[in-house]
Structure 1
């Protein structure tokens, strides 16, 4: 049992190293052969084969005869997988990816807020308020700011009671980790963020689904506007 746990841990470390190399574009489009990778990571071919198979299962790689192991576009990766979500958000965000992140949040978070207001338990609502109180006393760039914001949004999704929404929490956390550093470095945005978060929690506490949904949507749309000031998120015309 101890050896099995050790092997699983080693496979996880190799997977993490491979993903880091992929998102940092270390390998290009095609991974080196397994024996080369085994030497690079100083592991057996069995461990390397298992690590690669895990990435294959997540639609991150594609094995082709006479070509080798091709790295698939990030848009093909299985984003429902929490590991894949975390890995994808390691890469430097591009305008199209940021657009997709905002669109995803608009689809999920406002409805989750409405459902949290309608059917969240007293404990659920208290947990959201607790997260907000922690968030409101931390400024962007200070330790704990990102974690506090992610906790606030995650607890709303949990309070929705929707099991599919709860599965999306990792994507929402990743979305915040990508967007926050970009939009929260502007003067006055911290105060706006506090006000928008407060509007959401107060609507949930009043058990007002319509206002909770509107407040959540307004909060995300404001972030989208700030992103639009810094990035062109419109797809470029193909020549």
Structure 2
């Protein structure tokens, strides 16, 4: 058993190294042969084969006859996998990816906030409040800010009670981590960020689903505006522009 655990740890280490090389574009479009990679990482071919098979299963690689192991475009990667999410966010974000991240957040987070207000139990809501207090007490420059921000958004998603949303929490965390360096937060913007987070948290505590959803949209839109100001990328649009339309009201039943 000890040997098995050691091998698993080694496979994970090799996978991490391969991903680092991929996102840093060390290998180009095609990976070197397995024996070359085995020597590079100083592992057996069995370990290397297992590591590569794990990346293949995540749609990150593609084996082609007479070509070798090709690195697939990042948009093909299996983003539902938490490891893949974390690896994808290591790469330098491009405008299209940032747009997709914003659209994903707008689709998931506001609805999750509304459901947290409706379904969250006392323990869920207390955890959300604790994370918010940690965020409020960690202004820009404080080492705990990123952790507190990710914890707050993750706990809201968890409190939604929706198992599909809950499995998307890794993408939310990755999105916040990727966008944070692009968002400039001078003192006045920091105060507004705290106010908007407080709006969402207080609405959840009051079990006001409509206000929690509206507050979440406003928070994402504000973050988007700060990022747009920082990167000056007009292709990004705004959160409001990608907010899904409310479902139409059901038609009245026909007269009997």
- Which range, TM-score by smaller chain? over 0.9
The normalised TM-score by structure 1 is 0.96
> Superposed, which structure 2 residues align to 1:32-47 within 5 Å?
32-47=32-47
Superposed CA offset, 1:66-96 (max 9, x none): 0010000000000000000000001111111
**Structure 2 match to 1:135:** 135
Structure 2 unaligned regions, length at least 5: 237-256
> Superposed, which structure 2 residues align to 1:100-179 within 5 Å?
100-179=100-179
**Structure 1 match to 2:93:** 93
**Structure 2 match to 1:181:** 181
Aligned with 1:70: secondary structure?
A: strand
Tell me the CA shift for residue 171 of structure 1.
Answer: 0.2
Aligned with 1:146: secondary structure?
A: helix
Tell me the CA shift for residue 130 of structure 1.
Answer: 0.6
Tell me the CA shift for residue 142 of structure 1.
Answer: 1.4
Tell me the CA shift for residue 187 of structure 1.
Answer: 4.5
Aligned with 2:235: secondary structure?
A: coil
Tell me the CA shift for residue 233 of structure 1.
Answer: 5.5
Tell me the CA shift for residue 227 of structure 1.
Answer: 2.1
CA distance in 2, matches of 1:78, 1:166: 17
**Structure 2 match to 1:51:** 51
**Structure 2 match to 1:60:** 60
CA distance in 2, matches of 1:11, 1:233: 42
CA distance in 1, matches of 2:234, 2:154: 26
CA distance in 2, matches of 1:98, 1:186: 22
CA distance in 2, matches of 1:233, 1:170: 27
**Structure 1 match to 2:9:** 9
**Structure 2 match to 1:226:** 226
1:96·1:233 contact (CA, 8 Å) conserved in 2? no
Structure 1 unaligned regions, length at least 5: none
CA distance in 1, matches of 2:79, 2:161: 21
> Superposed, which structure 2 residues align to 1:178-217 within 5 Å?
178-217=178-217
Aligned CA RMSD, in angstroms, stands at 1.1
